Each structure stands twice: as C-alpha cells, then as structure tokens.
Amino acid sequence: MSTSEGLSDPAPGPTGSSAAPTAGSRVSIPDVIRKKRDGEKLEEEEIWHFVQAVTRRTMQDGQIGAMLMAIRLRGMTPDETLVLTRAIATSGRVLEWPEEWRGLLVDKHSTGGVGDKVSLPLAPALAACGCKVPMVSGRGLGHTGGTLDKLESVPGFLVSQSPEQMMQILEKVGCCIVEQSEELVPADKVLYALRDVTATVDSLPLITGSILGKKAAEKISALVLDVKFGSAALYPTLESAQQLAQSLVSVGSQLGICTAAVLTKMDGPLGCRVGNSLEVLESLECLEGRGPGDLRELVTTLGGILLWQCGRASSMPHGATHIAKVLDDGSALSTFRAMLQAQGVEAEVARALCAGTQEERFQVLRRAQSQEELVAQHEGTVQQIFALPIAQVLHGLGAGRTQEGQWINHRVGAELLVSVGQRVRKGDPWIRIHYENPELSDADRRNLQGALILEDSEPFAPGSKVAKTILPQKVTGLVVEVGVR
C-alpha cells in the first residue's frame, strides 16, 4: 500500500466535528486552570482548548504544570476523562491500516512498575502469532521504568518512527515499539514529560488520557491493560487500582477498542532484574523460553487474553498456550531480532543479542563499571523484596529522570540473587547493584537492606502475581464481566 494511504489528518474536534475549537476561541487558559483548581467541571470546549494549547506549545510549561496539578488534586468526571482522552488521541495523526489487518491489530500497556519488561517479549510473541502490534510506548515515569528507555539501551535502536515507517515495519515484521512524536500523540509527549517532573503521575484521568490517547491513535481493535497495584505501583491497593482499571476499560470500550484489564501485584519487582539494559537481558531469556516464572506468566496471560479477544484463540488459556509455544520454539525471538533491525540496530548487534552468548550480550549492552553485592544480615525465609526502595536507589544512581529530557544511565540496575519463599543464611548475597557515577552510598545500602524482609518460617513457593481480570463483553464492547482468578 502507499505510504500515505490510511493516515488521517490531525484533530477532529469535539464530538467528532471536523474542526477543533481554534486557538482564537473565547477560552482563556488561566480561566480553565482556575476552574479546575476550584473543582469545577470543565466544558468539552475547554478541555479541547487545553490539549490544543499543549500540542501547539502556546501554553507555558508553568501553566501546563498548574493545570496538571489541578487535575491531579480535583480529578475529572468520566465524561471529562473521555473528552480529554479523545483530544489527546487526535492531537496528531491517527493511524489507519489495510483492511485485511482489521481485527488483528492489538496492543498491551501497563500502568507502570519496577522490572516490568513485559512489552519487550510480548510484542514480538504476538506478532509471531499473526497479530499486528503498533505499540506506542512510554519512558520511565516517576520511579517506574519505561519500555522506550529499556530499548534505547540497545545501540542503534530508534524509538522515533514516522507513521509511514511504522506501516512498513508492521508489514515486514508484525510489530514495532515507538515513542510519541510531533506527529503521533504530541500532546501526550508534552504532558508525559511534565507529569514525570511535577509529581502528577498518579492521577486517574491523566493516566487514562495518556494510555488510551496513545492506544486510540494506534487504531487497534483489542487492548489489554496491565494495571499494577501494591507498594511500588501508582495505586497501592487492589480497590484503587480496580477503579483505575474500570475507568480504562470503560473509556477504551467507548473509544471502540475491545479493552480488558488484568490487575497484577507490584510489591516486589517483576522478574529478577531491574534497570534498563539488565531488563533487556532478562527479556531475551524470556524470548528463549527461559527466565523468571512471574515474567513468563504475565507475558502468556496478557498475550492469551489478546489472542482470544482478536479471535486467534478459542479461549484465554488456549491463547496463553499459543504464546508459550512461540516463546519456546524461537519464533518470538526471531521476530524480536527482525524488529531490532527494522528499527535501526545493525545486523551484527542484533545477532549478538539474540543468538550470542551471555558475554556477547554484555559486550553489546555494556556492564556498568562497578558492581556490589549486599548480603543478608540474618538467616530467614524471604517474605518479600520490596521494589520501591530498590527503584528509588537506582533512580538516584542515574537510572531515572528528575528533569525533563535528562540523560539516563542505562547500565545502572540491580539483580536479585534470591527469590521470595527462599531460605537464606546470614552473609548470603541477595542483591547485586550495578552503578557508575554517582557511587553507591551508605544511605543507599541502608535503604536497600530495608527492601529485604526475612522471617523465621518454612520456605514456600511464591504465588501468582495476577489477582483479577476485567473483561469486556466481546460483542458490544461494554464492560459486563468481572472475572476473578
């Protein structure tokens, strides 16, 4: 197909009218901020105007920050949230795809976690099952990691791809993982970066607008959301995360996307590695049919739901089996290798990563200059390894941002050397920290030691991280079922 086919122009206006209210309309940005600050409901036109002003950068960063904080503190009604999401989705071009891909276009998104690398193996696994995955992803937000940052630890990987390039990659490989851009959900690019540095990440309408704005612009048929809860998630309790999940499923369905959500625990890190390049290594293990059980469980569960949603599996368990098969037979790994090359990685680098030894992989991703192991201070069974202190220490060592656009050190990270349920003796190493500059401090060591919870009990097998699944009714797109696993 021609590169321009099916790529529509930016921004239809509110309620589908052909033009958004112009910047010259009567809406005043300070009035909109004041209204939200005082807890009033915004008119549709006011929300569109705000998003347009963000997109065109006619609003100062200070004003955007004030508006984000007002929304964070005062919230939005479901109607306002839907309008905000539509406005973000159409702030740039909306993707369209060949008719024969209808029903095959799927995606997954997470609300953000620590060690959450699921997208890296899942996108190619879905593509290996015949789906098309035009994944628009994000960077680290607050203490949580971001898929784009992880992928950028691979030399040469280009997260910036035009809609035309995405089309070509999807035709050839079946999946791509890209960033928001001037062309694609530009409003989210601006808001996302400012939320990260203004303590406005954990806002239900802002998360909904950010995630579903990207997904609606992708023009996918089916979406599964990994909604995290726990001490290292944006929402600590199952109840609050469930509210977010319901909002996401409801808005997603109203946007015409068959949307499901899975509530998963985020007290401890997902998998055994945290930090950008270390997480790429662990993703490669998952793509080889190996790696930590909790990571594989999430990849197969989320993928299984999507295969069922888009009709490529007769049930969620059948879908999960299909995903497990492409992880085990190497086809997901081949697809990942093809995606790396399609997104700018040299063939030899992609080979070393996908078919090389562990040492070759480390040569490509480069080890941090220093590593230090911390040891257990007494004997006991590991009850929990809390992710939040680990993420905070790594953030301080340069793995995350404190300012917009800041350079991050992809090599900073941590490897867990023990797992929940395991018995350890005093002096056993339990975590290895990879760092460069700044160096690991005594305060960091103390904070990290606080993450390991040991008790004098019998060893046990860790439970599933999946707590609950919220499914849409496939035919009507309405939220009708709450399935508890």
Backbone angles phi, psi at 418, to 5 degrees: -135, 165
CB of 171 to ligand URA, least distance (A): 26
Is the separation of the CB atoms in 229 and 235 below 8 Å? yes
- Whole-angstrom CA distances from 228 to 33, 73, 391, 463 are 30, 21, 15, 16
Using CB under 6 A, list all residues that contact ligand URA.
111-112, 138, 141, 207, 210-211
Q: Which is nearer to ligand URA, 208 or 409 (CB)?
A: 208
Task: Provide the sign of the torsion angle of the four alpha carbons 302, 305, 311, 317, taken in this order.
Answer: positive
Say which of 116, 188, 226, 267 is annotated catalytic. Answer: 188
For the chain, the C-alpha Rg in angstroms (whole number) is 22
Two tokens, residue 131: 């789906």
Tokens 């199952």, located at residue: 238
Q: Select 112 or 472, whichever has its Cβ closest to ligand URA.
A: 112
Rounded CA separation 298/296 (Å): 5
Q: Cβ 33 to ligand URA, closest distance in Å? A: 20
Minimal distance in Å, beta carbon 93 to ligand URA?
Answer: 18
Contact yes or no for 181/45 (Cβ under 8 A) = no
Task: Outline where 137-203 has alpha helix (H).
Answer: 147-151, 163-172, 186-197
Among this protein's residues, is 195 annotated catalytic? yes
Q: How far is the CB of 210 from ligand URA (least distance, A)?
A: 3
Give the chain's length: 485
* Cβ-based nearer residue to ligand URA, 111 or 283: 111
Q: Per the structure block, which two tokens stand in for 454?
A: 């040991």
- Least CB distance from residue 111 to ligand URA, whole Å? 5
The DSSP output letter for 2 is: -
Nearer to ligand URA (CB atom), residue 141 or residue 345 = 141
Q: In the bound complex, what is the minimum distance in angstroms from residue 432's beta carbon to ligand URA? A: 28
Active site residue 109: yes
DSSP 103-149: TTBEEEEES--SS--THHHHHHHHHHTT-BEEEE----BTTB--HHH
**Least CB distance from residue 416 to ligand URA, whole Å?**
23
Is 283 noted as a catalytic residue in this protein? Answer: no
Give the residue with the Cβ less far from ligand URA, 187 or 324.
Answer: 187
- Between 120 and 141, whose beta carbon lies closer to ligand URA? 141
Give how far the C-alpha of residue 402 lies from the chain's centroid of Cα atoms, to the nearest Å.
Answer: 19
222 vs 333, beta carbon nearer ligand URA: 222
**Pairwise CA distance, residues 100 & 6, whole Å:** 13
Written as one letter, the residue type at 461 is A
- Residue 135, CA distances (Å) to 28, 103, 148, 403 in order: 35, 15, 11, 25
Closest to ligand URA by CB, 111 vs 309, is 111
CB of 211 to ligand URA, least distance (A): 5
Residue pointed to by tokens 């954990």: 202
Choosing from 72, 108, 109, 395, which is the catalytic residue? 109
How many other CB atoms are found less than 10 A from the CB of residue 423? 16
Q: Which is catalytic among the residues 143, 195, 296, 401?
A: 195
Which residue's C-beta sits nearest to ligand URA? Answer: 210
Nearer of residues 160 and 384 to ligand URA, judged by Cβ: 160
Q: Which of 91, 210, 247, 283 is labelled catalytic?
A: 210
Residues 6+ apart with CB under 8 A from 352: 360, 361, 363, 364
Task: Provide the β-strand partners of residue 301.
Answer: none
Structure tokens at 65: 């920050």
Selection from 378, 266, 275, 283 nearest residue 337 by Cα: 283
Report the nearest approach of ligand URA to the CB of residue 114 (Å).
13
Token look-up 């060893």 returns 459
Active-site residue set: 109, 188, 195, 210, 214
